[in-house]
Amino acid sequence: MIPAQTYDIAIIGAGASGLQLLYELIQADPSHEKKILLIDSGDRSTKSWCFWEDKNASCFPFLVEKSWHSMTYRTSTGETIESPINPLQYNYISSDRFFDYFFNEFIPSNPNITHILGKATEIHEGGDLHSVICEDASSFYAKRVADSRPLKSDDPTLIFQHFSGKFIEFEQPILDETSMTLMDFSLPASTEEMAVFHYILPFSKTKALIETTVFTRLAYNKEAYERIWQDYIETHYSSQKFKILSNETGTIPMGGTTQKKEGRVFSIGASGGNMKASTGYAFTRMHEDAKNRVLNLSKKKPKRFRFYDKMLLKIMQKEMIKIPAVMDRLFSRVQTPHILRFLDDKSSLVDDIKLLSQLDIPLFIKHLLR
Ligand SMILES: Cc1cc2nc3c(=O)[nH]c(=O)nc-3n(C[C@H](O)[C@H](O)[C@H](O)COP(=O)(O)OP(=O)(O)OC[C@H]3O[C@@H](n4cnc5c(N)ncnc54)[C@H](O)[C@@H]3O)c2cc1C
């Protein structure tokens, strides 16, 4: 017997990937023929979603609040490398704006979407119909299920990227709002166990997000990151008065927490393998994944990118203290747009060879042989 209420697709999780998939499903079905169920547990935190892409690319341009055409890298010895990133640009979308658009505009204007608050606990795969069971014992049936629930890992070698940032407003117009800082390793806060850098998004001459970012195997250490953030501010903005507008904290597990499930019940989002493990960037990857799924395209990236990623992660796992030097060398010797294409898995093999040849070859060979 077919249950009374069945859906063409159920999406578990209304986060970045679930909503991007929802968006693409509606673009492909403007006459609202498909019934879509969106189940979300409501566990949302504030995030700044940033990504680089070509100026004419199309990852939610109407939600982008600020774009930068220049990027700064500051080495561990304090040298500043500022570079235009033409033809790319670095875009910022706040999660507040993203969720506001989806929950207050997009979902209400598409009557074929049913949005429910609930925690999915089980998915039972059937023949043509699969059931999703929620914590309160309610169940839903759908022909396809997209699952973005985060996975937990007990892998002791797993590296995390921890963030401890603040949106601040200076009294004086002291910021260069035309260039964002991808990594600033100038504060000597890195140790054997953690590589520390600062990430700065200047939204105007007075307002910025300044974020302490830490690669480590250790647990999140709020007090330590707070002290590092204060040190950074005292070092770079000692005479400036500012007020704190809001905080942004979070953790990205780098690799090890994915389970790529395919078929009619499939995984999406970070847990579906759409996050670049060595960088934590996922937003445009999830968008590409959503588009490909809706168009039934199977786009496999060359395996070499996964290999590079594993190599970088291995170096982080085994030689954390060398990360600032590895990054310094990379940004000093290779043009920033080439690095960005490489990190985005969009570089050619020739470009990869050129880039890799600029790195600390013995260090990479050592980990290759391991
Ligand atoms: C602080 C932070 C900053 C980041 N910044 C960037 C960035 O600048 N650029 C970038 O590319 N990437 C960034 N990322 C990485 C990545 O883009 C985000 O983690 C992104 O939110 C992942 O999308 P997702 O859909 O996989 O997970 P989420 O966005 O976390 O969505 C998962 C959703 O599932 C729901 N859920 C969980 N369990 C259940 C359940 N059992 N039943 C129903 N619903 C459930 C949750 O409520 C949530 O809404 C950042 C990550 C963090 C943590």
CATH number at residue 266: 3.50.50.60
Helix (H) or strand (E) holding 164: strand 159-170
Does 289 contact ligand 1 (Cβ within 6 A)? Answer: no
Which residue, by CA, sits nearest to atom 10 of ligand 1?
281
Where does a domain end: 239, 254, 269? 254
Residue 120 CA: which ligand 1 atom is closest? 42
Mean pLDDT by 10 residues, the chain (370 residues): 76 96 94 93 88 86 95 97 95 96 96 95 91 93 94 80 96 97 97 96 98 95 97 95 95 75 87 87 94 81 84 86 93 94 91 87 70
Regarding the beta carbon of 51 and ligand 1, being less than 6 Å apart is answered yes
347 contact partners, CB below 8 Å, separation of at least 6: 338, 341, 355
Contact yes or no for 264/144 (Cβ under 8 A): yes
Last residue of a domain, one of 244, 264, 294: 294
Q: How many CB atoms lie within 10 A of CB 277?
A: 24
* Number of structural domains in the chain: 3
Cα of 213 vs centre of ligand 1, distance in Å, is 18
Q: Are 332 and 268 in contact (CB under 8 A)?
A: no
Q: Which helix (H) or strand (E) holds 301?
A: none
Q: For residues 248 and 260, state if they share a domain.
A: no
> For residue 4, what pLDDT is reported?
55
pLDDT for residue 213: 97
- 87 is a domain residue: no
Using CA atoms, how far residue 17 sits from 36, 148, 242, in Å, is: 15, 7, 35
Cβ proximity of 196 and 208 under 8 Å: no
Determine the structural domain holding residue 349 and report its residue range.
303-369
**What are the tokens at 301?**
């990236």
Does 186 share its domain with 239? yes
β pairing state of 36-40 and 242-254 = unpaired
Q: Return the residue whose CA atom lies nearest to atom 37 of ligand 1.
A: 149
Give domain status of residue 142, yes or no. yes
Q: How far apart are CA 9 and CA 111, in angstroms?
A: 15
Q: What is the pLDDT of residue 364?
A: 73
Are residue 211 and residue 349 in the same domain, yes or no?
Answer: no
Same domain, 246 and 269: no
Q: Which pLDDT belongs to residue 369?
A: 61
CA-nearest residue for atom 47, ligand 1, is 43
Report the atom number in ligand 1 closest to the C-alpha of 271. Answer: 26
- Give, for ligand 1, the residue of 19, 39, 148 to mutate: max count of ligand atoms closer than 8 Å to Cβ: 148
Ligand 1: which atom is nearest the Cα of residue 43? 47
82 lies in some domain: no
**Ligand 1 near 41 CB (within 6 A):** yes
Q: How many CA atoms lie within 13 A of 260 on its CB side?
A: 6
pTM: 0.92
193/151 Cα distance (integer angstroms): 24
- In this structure, are 109 and 179 located in the same domain? no
Residues 284 and 144 in one domain: yes
Cα separation, 236 vs 226, in Å, equals 16
Question: According to the model, what pLDDT value does residue 370 have?
Answer: 61
CATH number of the domain that residue 236 is part of: 3.30.9.10
194 and 182 both lie in a single domain:
yes
> What is the bridge-based pairing of β-strands 70-74 and 179-184?
parallel
> Which residue type occupies 11?
I
For the CA of 268, the nearest atom of ligand 1: 26
Mean pLDDT for the chain overall: 91
Cα(15) to centroid(ligand 1), Å:
5
- Shared domain for 143 and 273, answered yes or no, is yes
Ligand 1: does its nearest atom lie under 6 Å from the Cβ of 273? no
Whether residue 120 has its Cβ less than 6 Å from ligand 1: yes
197 lines ligand 1 (CB under 6 A): no
**Closest residue by Cα to residue 41 from 124, 152, 106, 116:** 116
| Pocket lining: 16 vs ligand 1, CB cutoff 6 Å | yes
Among 347, 341, 363, 368, which Cα is nearest to 71's? 341
187/180 Cα distance (integer angstroms): 17
Atom of ligand 1 nearest to the CA of 14: 49
Predicted pLDDT at 141: 95
SS3 content of the chain, % helix, strand, coil (to 5): 30, 30, 40
Residue bearing the CA closest to ligand 1, atom 32: 15
Q: Which atom of ligand 1 is nearest to the CA of 282?
A: 11
> What confidence score (pLDDT) does residue 241 get?
96
126 lies in the same domain as 239 = no
Q: What is the Å distance from ligand 1's center to 45 Cα? A: 8
Determine whether the shortest distance from the Cβ of 272 to ligand 1 is under 6 A. Answer: no
Q: Which numbered atom of ligand 1 lies nearest the CA of 280?
A: 15
